[in-house]
Structure 1
Amino acid sequence: MKSLASLALVILSLTAFGQSNQLMFVAESTGHGIPEHLSQLVQNHSGEFVKQFPRGKGSTEFVYVVRFPEANIDAAFQDLSNSSPSLLVEYDHVLKADTTKYIPNDVRFAEQWYLENDAGFNGEMDADIDMPEAWKIERGNDNVTLVIIDSGVEFDHPEFNGRRYVNPNETLNGIDDDQNGKIDDLYGWDFVDNDNDPNDENGHGTAVAGVAAANGDDLRGWAGVDWNCRIMSVRVLSSSGSGNYSDLAEALYYVADLGVDVVNMSLGGGANSTIVEDAAEYAALADVLLIAASGNSGERGVNLPARLPTIMAVGSVNWFNDRCDPYSSGFGGSTYGDEVEIMAPGDNIPILDYQNFMNYSDVSGGTSLASPLVAGVACLLRAKHPNLGSGAIRSILHQTAIDQIGQSAEDVQGRDDYYGYGILNANEALKYEPIIITSDDDDLFQIAIDFDNRDVLYEIEEDAQKIEIFDVSGRRIFVATNVRAGTHRVNISSAGVYSIRATINYARHNRQAVIY
């Protein structure tokens, strides 16, 4: 996690943005003011002398700056350029401070306070996830697949143009080409109706997908977080917004076998389920990053599947960085508990209408809308770091979350039950450069994971001079010296990717472990 006080200030750089109504030209100096042989031409276009300066100490050549009415500047440029083949004439282009932000042209972006909050629309200045800064670094890649397990997604909505996932191993021919038990599952699967048309019949899934991945910079409506990932719809909720654990479990096995990258589940139930837990573990072991909404009771008790150890549980904050309790509509609040890993904005969030594509007036609240913000940033991280596994992405989100900017009684230092590791910050996550130690292939040093206790078990065939464990940032979190041959156990308190190094006979042997 990262403290707000530790965030570095960004030095502004200068970038050219278009042209001004001034021209620059180089000529021999004849004293102060525009050289006589050019002054009439400048007057013809209503030009006004601004300044002159030498091209270095002692030079007789000067740069002259002249301001023209906007309607005359292009003609003045042509006439000056044609007056002499040796005359250097340029537009005096405008410089602006580059604030390291990318502001999209989506017409209602200013209303998306949770991406960029200037306090003009809602809440507290900078109570957001710093999305424009993150977009300067990464806007997504179509090699990354985001799965929305929900009520379906309405892909006819223009905000999803060109974004629908297509199964590369399937064709519409009435045959199960990829032999996964689903005939013609070209675009995902509908587990409610057991067919290949996972369209939205409720609206919830379309709203969730839009928060995570609506097209950006498209001169319409809202911007999602990731503008380029592929979106797969997997329907497990009916038109009434309810579904069964069995469909969720089957969906998790299904997407894991398709080799997707990130799964968002803005849904939940109260009862435990070993079958769902096993399915989630299967997907996690297939390197799928699983993200789910914690729930909206406002009380302790994170929903299933979010409370499972293989899944990132996401809570919601408002435009003051306070945990939603209640939401602005007056209902519920963000559920809390020791399974909560991260918070994201989740109140008064603009959502897409799955029936009226011109409607950009709807807003809603809930952890259902906080979760896809995290999923969208996870997709951006996958795009930036294609060789990192899901455990590493999860660890980066933990380590770059902003801690202690929420309610002081709840958002205490370190991980807590109310805010987890802190509030999502897309810019910090995308700036983060993880250090991963590659694994060797030898028999002197082997590891295993005890997931129930979050223990790393390592076995060394010979005495080791040193055993070290590093987190994804390269920080050493454990060291033991003069370790005897045999099997040993080390507890890892936090989920993430860890590198374990054994120094045996003064040679280094490396392994990696993913802790859920």
Structure 2
Amino acid sequence: MLKTTGALGAFAGIGAIGSASARGETKELVVKKSDVVGIADVKSAVETALPSGASIVHKNDVLGYVTIEVPLNDVGTAADAMSTLEAQSAVEYAEENVTYHTMETASDDPHFGSQYTPQQVDAPEAWNTTQGEDVLLSVIDQGVDYEHENLHDRFGSNLGYDFAGTGGDDPMPVQPSENHGTHVAGIAAATTNNGIGTSGISNAQILSARALDESGGGSLQDIADAIQWSADQNADVINMSLGGGGFTDLMNDAINYAFDSGTLPIAAAGNDGGSVNYPAAYDNCVAISAIDSNYNAASFTSRGPEIDVTAGGVDVLSTDNNDSYVEMSGTSMSSPVAAGVACLGASAHGLTGSNQDPGQLWNLLISTAEPVDGLASDVEGEGLANAANIVGGGDPPEEHDLLVTVVDDSGAEIQGATVSAGGDSGTTDQSGQVTLEVPEGTVTVEAEADGLSGTEEVDVTGDTSVTVEIDGEDDDPPGECGAESNTASAEGELSGGWWGNPSDTYTYELETADPCAATITLDGPSSGAVFDLYLTLDGREPSTWDYDERSYNWGADEQIDVELDGSETFGILVDRYDGSGSYTLTVEELGK
């Protein structure tokens, strides 16, 4: 049975707290909720702290913040308002919605006719192994000209999203002069070996996250949202050729969210010759400095202990809007060189999709960099990013002896069992044992004898041992998944203003005798609405911040697939992010 438990408005009641004063200066502030409250409580906190004139103009329920517009005539200085807000128990922090800018400098030679950055990082040698087509790269920047002759093959059906505009789906540049994102994307991933234009460092698939407007500036709010969105799209690498604004808690939260989600953020160090700018300076972001074609430090590059690697950033030729090409300089250009190298490394070592490991990819990038003679450590970091080295992988993981003992359900050792783990295999001796050579880390040990099997996971950090029990029964009971099925559906309608955000919740009890899998499908309106689907597996009521699985894409059609062991009860949330209309919710349960 699929039954509704009533509408749940995670943001019910959040609306304009007041109309912004027409008098004097206004300031936008970012207000982050504390861990012990829901984001809806921010409304009452703001009303209490700033009873006159403040209005909510933006929200992000994933990162847990709202942006408010405050008339300073009513509250004093921005610092006064932030201090008053942070005194509220529902508020973790409040900070200005500062602006970040592109990291390019003007080029003295717009007709420079050849590239040097792919050769400088040994990309042609790496291309013999991989060109990185299986990697997803998000370019957070101005819009990218996805119709460019040398970029259109790098885009799939999901082109990206426009965070700096009116909230539409189209991340194309708005003005002809808005070319920074197109140039950056081409450095990292213009199509290689197609006989057209320039060569990117990789052939990664691109997402255009337009968070900087036609002026080259972007708000803290828009960039943080773009980082979170990119991670939710399962991007393997994010490139941010932008900086400024100083340290902010919200940007740090967004960077940490991406890293914890499996995405590696990479950013330009800055062009002021001083200390490393944010976001490059955050702990979970890779910082890239710039050198020229002669391996000298760029005069403009920022420097400091945060620098991880360096790359070419002076007079870099790459794609420009409308099928043209242009030369630019800045750490904006060196960052996508390093990002392209990281994409090749992710492809070569399978660190994509469900196997993402940003920590391992980061370590590969720095451990395979080449030291540059004459460069100070605060400029080169670990050295010049090197594509051939990262594809080769640097030092292979250390291997260890793993002693495996195979027993039956009575504890008796089994001779002649076939055992495999970590790429090695063998057969147990008369004492039921075999020694395998396995790489350091967590490995799965599989044992089989007389048609029966068993598995165990073990964390191999040195010489160790593990016992695998074969139960005396097939682990997989007779019958294939799908031999029995049960389908339930419900229909509903969601509507309301932006801040109303009404939702419906449902519960579903398993019906098949031996459940093995289920698919939960949301078919929503096709008229531009954005509906999302959240699932819990223990019957608790899900929310947009408390769930076990979710489908969170732009649009109103969502799907979640789960494997079942028979103990589950589904809690389902249909959440309206934007738009309105009718929907159909379907649960298809499969049994053996």
TM-score range, shorter chain: 0.5 to 0.7
Q: Trace 1:35-54 onto structure 2 (pairs within 5 A).
A: none
Q: Evaluate the alpha carbon distance shift between residue 393 and residue 221 of structure 1 in structure 2; reply closer, same or farther with a 3 A threshold.
A: same
Q: What amino acid does structure 1 have at the position aligned with 2:301?
A: S
Say yes or no: does 1:196 pair with 2:169.
Answer: yes
Deviation, structure 1 residue 385: 1.4
Query: Residue deviations 1:234-270, cap 9 Å, x none?
Result: 0110101001011111111111112111100000113
Q: Say if 2:317 is the partner of 1:341.
A: no
1:436 Cα shift?
4.5
> Residue 109 of structure 1 contacts residue 222 of structure 1 at CA under 8 Å; is this kept in 2?
no
1:229-248 alignment to 2 at 5 Å?
229-248=204-223
- Which residue of 124, 147, 152 maps to 1:161? 152
Matched, 1:317 2:291: yes
Aligned to 1:10: none
Instruction: Tell me, in whole angstroms, the C-alpha distance in 2 between the residues paired with 1:225 and 1:131.
Output: 6
Kindly report the root-mean-square deviation, in angstroms, between the aligned alpha carbons of the 2 structures: 2.6
Deviations 1:156-211 (A, max 9, x none): 11101322133xxxxxxxxxxxxxxxxxxx42211112111111231100000000
- Residue type of the partner of 1:354? N
Query: For residues 466 and 273 of structure 2, what CA distance do their matches in structure 1 show?
Result: 49
Identity of aligned residues (%): 33
Counterpart of 1:428 (choices 370, 389, 393) is 389
CA deviations over 1:93-146 (Å, ceiling 9, x no partner): xxxxxxxxxxxxxxx998112222xxxxxxxxxxx11121111221122x3211
Change (3 A) 1:132 1:247: same
Q: 1:449-460 counterparts in 2 under 5 A?
A: none
Q: What is the DSSP-based 3-state SS (H/G/I as helix, E as strand, rest coil) of the residue aligned with 1:352?
A: strand
The residue matched to 1:255 in structure 2 has which SS?
A: helix
Question: Aligned in 2, Cα 1:474/1:373: closer, same or farther, shift over 3 Å?
Answer: farther
Alpha carbons 2:345, 2:387 under 8 Å: kept: no
- 1:296 Cα offset (Å): 0.4
Q: Distance in 2 between matches of 1:474 and 1:112?
A: 40
Residue aligning to 1:401? 369
Once the two structures are TM-superposed, the CA of residue 151 in structure 1 deviates from its matched residue by 0.3
5+ residue gaps in structure 1?
1-107, 117-127, 167-185, 326-332, 411-415, 441-472, 476-498, 510-516
SS at the partner of 1:147?
strand
- Following TM superposition, by how much is the alpha carbon of 1:508 offset from its aligned partner in structure 2, in angstroms? 7.7
Q: 1:221 to 1:321 in 2, by over 3 A?
A: same
Measure the CA separation in 2 of the matches of 1:137 and 1:216: 14
* TM-score (normalizing by structure 1): 0.54
Question: Which whole-Å CA distance do the structure 2 matches of 1:437 and 1:251 have between them?
Answer: 38
Q: Which of 314, 319, 326 is matched with 1:352 structurally?
A: 319
- Counterpart of 2:335, as a letter, is S
CA contact (8 A) 2:244 2:277 kept: yes
Partner of 1:206: 182
Query: Is residue 348 of structure 2 the alignment partner of residue 384 of structure 1?
Result: yes
1:216 aligned residue (181, 192, 215): 192
For 1:40-439, what aligned pairs fall within 5 Å after superposition?
111-116=114-119, 128-141=120-133, 143-166=134-157, 186-193=158-165, 194-201=167-174, 202-227=178-203, 229-299=204-274, 301-325=275-299, 333-355=300-322, 357=323, 359-360=324-325, 362-387=326-351, 389-407=357-375, 410=376, 416-432=377-393, 435-436=396-397
Cα distance in 2 for partners of 1:276, 1:236 equals: 13
Whole-angstrom distance in 1 between the partners of 2:263 and 2:112? 31
SS at match of 1:305: coil
| Shift in alpha-carbon separation, 1:295–1:236, aligned structure 2, 3 A | same
CA distance, structure 2, for counterparts of residue 342 and residue 421 of structure 1: 5
Distance 1:438 1:154, change over 3 A: farther
Distance 2:440 2:152 in 1: 40
The offset of 1:291, in angstroms, is: 0.4
Is the 1:291–1:313 contact (alpha carbons within 8 Å) kept by the matching residues of 2?
yes
3-state secondary structure, aligned to 1:115: helix
**Matches of 1:366 and 1:153, distance apart in 2:** 18
Q: Which residue of 1 aligns with 2:89?
A: none
Q: 1:129 to 1:502 in 2, by over 3 A?
A: closer
- Name the SS for the 1:423 alignment partner: coil
- Partner in structure 2 of residue 443 of structure 1: none
The offset of 1:434, in angstroms, is 5.3
| Structure 2 residue matching 1:402: 3-state secondary structure | coil
Mapped partners of 1:406, 1:191: distance in 2: 42
Give SS of 1:159's match: coil
- 8 A Cα contact 2:440 2:462, kept in partner: no
Structure 1 contact 307–339 (Cα < 8 Å) conserved: yes
C-alpha contact (below 8 Å) 1:109/1:223 kept by paired residues: no
- Bigger radius of gyration: 1
CA gap 1:248/1:500 in 2 versus in 1, 3 angstroms? farther
Query: TM-score w.r.t. structure 2 length?
Result: 0.47
Q: Separation in 1 of the partners of 2:159 and 2:129?
A: 29
- 5+ unaligned residues in a row in structure 2: which ranges? 1-110, 403-438, 442-458, 468-592
Q: For residue 114 of structure 2, what is the amino acid of its counterpart?
A: E
8 Å CA contact 2:143, 2:181 repeated in 1: yes
* C-alpha distance in 2 between matches for 1:406 and 1:500: 41
Letter in 2 for 1:317: I
Residues in 1 aligned to 2:201 and 2:213: alpha-carbon distance in whole angstroms: 26
* Structure 1 runs (4+) greater than 4 angstroms displaced: 436-440
Q: What's the secondary structure of 1:111's corresponding residue?
A: coil
Q: Which residue of 2 aligns with 1:482?
A: none
* Separation (CA, whole Å) in 2 of partners of 1:404 and 1:347: 16
1:342 alignment partner, SS class: strand
More strand by share: 2
Residue type at the aligned position of 1:199 = M
Q: CA deviation at 1:232?
A: 0.3
SS in 1 for 2:247: coil
Following TM superposition, by how much is the alpha carbon of 1:507 offset from its aligned partner in structure 2, in angstroms?
A: 3.7
Q: Is the 8 A contact 1:323 1:406 kept in 2?
A: no
CA apart distance, 1:406: 3.6
One-letter code of the match for 1:266? Answer: S
Q: Write the distance in 2 (CA, Å) between the matches of 1:501 and 1:383.
A: 26
For residue 297 of structure 1, report the CA deviation from its aligned partner.
0.6
User: Partner of 2:487 in structure 1?
Assistant: none
Superposed CA offset, 1:75-96 (max 9, x none): xxxxxxxxxxxxxxxxxxxxxx
Contact in 1 for aligned 2:189/2:201 (Cα 8 Å): yes
Number of residue pairs aligned between Structure 1 and Structure 2 = 295
